[in-house]
Amino acid sequence: MDLQIDSGWKLHPIGGDTGQAYMGTKEEEKVFLKRNSSPFLAALSVEGITPKLVWTKRIGNGDVLTAQEWLNGRTLHSDEMSSQEVAGLLSRIHHSQTLKRMLTRVGGKTINPVDLVDSYLDGLSLDLRNHPFLQEVVYQLENTLPSLETEKMTVCHGDIDRKNWLLSDEDRLYLVDWESAMLCDPAMDLGMLLCQYVKKENWQNWLEGYGEELSKDLIHRMVWYAAMNDLLQIKKYHKETKFHKMNQAIIRLQQLILQQN
């Protein structure tokens, strides 16, 4: 059922993991609406990282709606994630001091590797806690924590899945859904992206477009964060009883570990 809000706008749910995204319609107007988006969205809009922010409005139940321009387009295919356009946009984000200042100003958290390990272990089910392979991975990750000076941490998206990359009909690339944004080692985003979508023999070429050299230290950090992300996804799918997706994530993690040995 459509949700009626103040001033005549109608909200039509359009799916997504959070159930907070809508197409908003009013007469001939159409916008992308989301409930309770991060206040960081304004800075991303100004920088052209996300579609233009049109307005923000608090409605009767206390929720805050943000309206962005509605763009016709599509999400990226897996093979398009290895493009130099993706590398260039991610580089702009990671190297933007403006975005870093704005995320800090709105209370963005700085996340360290030990925070991610703690997040995985906190409330972990016995099934996963006693899983031999997952036990071994956690042991390895705890004993090979990557390090990066705090001042070198950057704005990270935190969920770099291809479905969060939008290519408009005007051939403009955007990165959307910033609910997981944090200040972190940029290797977090890089690891998720490269380990999942780019063949290892092409990492160096991709990183040239990003503006970084491939080194043993960077490889270690990227693989560490990619494995940590898989663990967190496994925990999430188990909690949601999405066991098919959980098993797929375990297989992906096994392949990742195998490729590094």
Q: Which residues pair with 23 in a beta bridge?
A: 12, 32
Is 159 labeled as catalytic in the residue annotation? yes
204 CB neighbour count, 10 Å cutoff: 11
Per annotation, catalytic residue among 6, 17, 118, 159: 159
Q: For residue 201, give the DSSP letter.
A: G
Residue 35 φ/ψ, nearest 5 degrees: -85, 135
80 CB neighbour count, 10 Å cutoff: 16
Residue 155 φ/ψ, nearest 5 degrees: -70, 120
Side chain identity, residue 106: V
Give 149's contacts (C-beta < 8 A, 6+ positions apart): none
List the catalytic residues: 159
